[in-house]
Each structure stands twice: as structure tokens, then as C-alpha cells.
Amino acid sequence: MHRNIGFIFCLTVTIALMAMILLPLVVVVLGSCINASLLGLSTDLWSGSLHDILDFSAFGYIFENYGDWALFSLELAIACVAICLLIAVPAGYALARYPFPGSGLVEELVLLPFSLPGITLSMGLLATYGELRGPLLVLAGHLLYTIPFMLKVVTATLRSFDVGQLETAARSLGASFPQRLFLVVLPNLRHAMMVGSLLVFAVSWGEFNVSFLLNRGRPQTFPAVLYDTYTNQSIQISSAATTIFLAIVIPAVIAIQWFGGRESVEVEQGA
């Protein structure tokens, strides 16, 4: 297409936004392992040896002290993915394929957490299930915030092409219900389930408000590690923790881009 003033203007703004996003990430990643004085930063706030150029001791510190927290967070994210697949995919199929009286309301209710501040939900859950405070309540909170993503991807895919016709065709050719399910419906949903799982994983891994308030004692989720290091540790250790966080979340976001393309655009707007 013709390159004009509009293109150059939009490109300039976009590049400025990219710089705004990338610059602090680069400084943090470098700051986690390179001598702070080389980056031109004052060294009194940064721990670590001042003689070595590269210093990975902060990573060792994180793994030693918070390794189980990271593991707990990963387990939680994977549990969320599994439960979302089990609960949201059948429900999404039913809502898209066999709408029943009140199914519109159910969909509105599922999407409610998109405009529900995490702190409000946490207060509600604590007021109701205060004595259950711990990993299980955290899982419930995470599910409420991740299910909308999975459900939206699944229903959007099911509505974008006519599964009904495919299923009817399969049935007229003599396919039984399990055959239709495993040979017609699920293969067409494979892509949506992949994108949905990645979204669920990334959201669960990055969630802080709900997990911090609903959990008790150790281990906490990984964003709580970040909070802990930001408030109690040197900037180098905080940077190392942030780098580990990014090392998990960035590949997930890239994979979503890679698999999702345009279909996932409308889904990625939740909190």
C-alpha cells in the first residue's frame, strides 16, 4: 500500500510504544546479571560483587529461597489449564451449539470477572470461605479469572463455522455420538483449545491480587515472590526474580501470537 504521512505517523507512535515497553525490560534483564556500574546505575542499591562483569548469584538466591514458590505457581497454572479444559470446553460447546433458556445469562455471568476487580472477588471469597483460605481457594479464584478466556475462544470458534452442519452430516453417514465428538467436534476445536490453554496458563502465572490475598503461609505464587523481593531485597535480586517471571510469560505470549493470529484478538481483552 501507498506509504503516506498517516503511515509514518502511526509507525512513529508504534515505535515509541515499543521502546517504552522494551527499554525497562532490557534494563531489568541486564541488571539481573551484569555489574550495575557498567549500566551507569548507582551501585549502592545493587548488591552483588562489583569486580565481576557477569554475576548470576542473584538467580541462585532466588532458586534456593523461592524455588518451591515457583513450582507451586507452575502447578497452579497447569491445574487451571486442565480444569478449564474439563469445565469450559463442554460448557462452551453446549452454549454455542444448544442454546437453552438462560444460556445468555450464563455467558454474561462467566464474563463478569473481566470487569470484576480482583480485590472485590477476594474480599467476597474471604468473607464467605475464610476458613478455607489456602491453595484451594486460590485455585477457585484463578479459575474464575481464567475460565472466561477458554470459554470465549471455544464459543467464538464454534460460532465461526457451522459445527451443526458437520455434525448432522456425520450423523447422516451413521456416526455415533462418541464418533462425532472425537472425530468431528474435538479436532475442529484443537486450535481453540491450544490458544485457550496458553492464555489460561499466562493469566494464571501472572495473577497477583487474588493469589496474594487468598493464600496463607508458604508457598505463595510467583508474583508474590516478586512482591517479596521488591519490598525486602536489593534491586539485583528483584531484577533476577522479574527475569525469571519474564522467561515464563514471554514464550507463552509469543506462542499465543504464533497460534492465535487474528482469532484470538477479540478474546484477549480481559483483566
Partner 1 sequence: MLTHDFTINASSIFSVRERRQLVPLLLCAPLLLLLLAFLVWPLAHLFQQSLLLTDTPAAGITLRNYLEIASVPRYRHALLWSLELSLAVAACSTLICLAPAWLFTRYQFRGKLVMRGILTLPMTFAGMIVGFLMVILLGRTGFIPQMFERLTGTPFLSGIGYQFPGLILDYLYFEIPRATLTLESALCKLDSRLEQAARSLGANRWHVFRLVVLPAIWPALISTFAVTFSVSLGSFGVLLVLSIRRFTLLPLEIFTQYIAPPTDQGIAAAMSLTLLTVAFLTGYGLRRVTRRMGITHA
Of all helices (H) and strands (E), which one includes residue 186? helix 186-206
Query: 114, 99 in Cβ contact below 8 A?
Result: no
Q: Cα separations (Å) of 255 from 146, 251, 261?
A: 17, 6, 10
Among 51, 64, 115, 176, binds partner 1 (CB under 8 A): 115
Q: Please report how close the Cβ of residue 161 comes to partner 1 at its closest, in angstroms.
A: 18
Pull the grid cell for residue 29: 534483564
**Near partner 1 in 25-54, by CB under 8 A:** 25, 27-28, 31, 39-42, 45
* The C-alpha cell that represents 145 in the structure block: 479469572
| Count of residues in contact with partner 1, rule CB under 8 A | 96
Q: Least distance (Å) from partner 1 to the CB of residue 118?
A: 6
Residue from the set 68, 75, 162, 266 that interacts with partner 1 by CB under 8 A: 266
Report d(CA 252, CA 245) in Å as an integer.
11
Which value, to the nearest 10 degrees, does the dihedral of the CA atoms of residues 154, 158, 160, 164 take? 180
Contact pick of 59, 129, 175, 181 for partner 1 (by CB under 8 A): 129
Q: Which stretch in 60-68, 167-175, 186-194, 234-242 sits in contact with partner 1 by CB under 8 A?
A: 234-242
Nearest residue (CB) to partner 1, 219 versus 236: 236
Q: Kindly state the smallest distance separating residue 110's Cβ from partner 1, in Å.
A: 7
31 neighbors 236 (Cβ within 8 angstroms): yes
Judged by CB under 8 A, the residue of 20, 53, 54, 173 near partner 1 is 20
> Which residues lie below 8 Å from residue 78, measured CB to CB, with a gap of 6+?
201
* DSSP-based three-state secondary structure for 268: coil
Binding to partner 1, residues 51-110 (CB under 8 A): 86-88, 90-91, 93-95, 97-100, 103, 106, 109-110
Cell 514458590, residue located = 69
Q: Is 123 in the site for partner 1 (CB under 8 A)?
A: yes
C-alpha cell at 243: 527475569
- The binder of partner 1 chosen from 79, 85, 116, 181 (CB under 8 A): 116
Of residues 165 and 269, the one with the C-beta less far from partner 1: 269
Residues 163 to 222 in contact with partner 1, rule: CB under 8 A: 202-203, 205-209, 213
Between CA 122 and CA 211 the distance in angstroms is: 9
Binders of partner 1 in range 131-170 (CB under 8 A): 140-141, 143-144, 147, 151
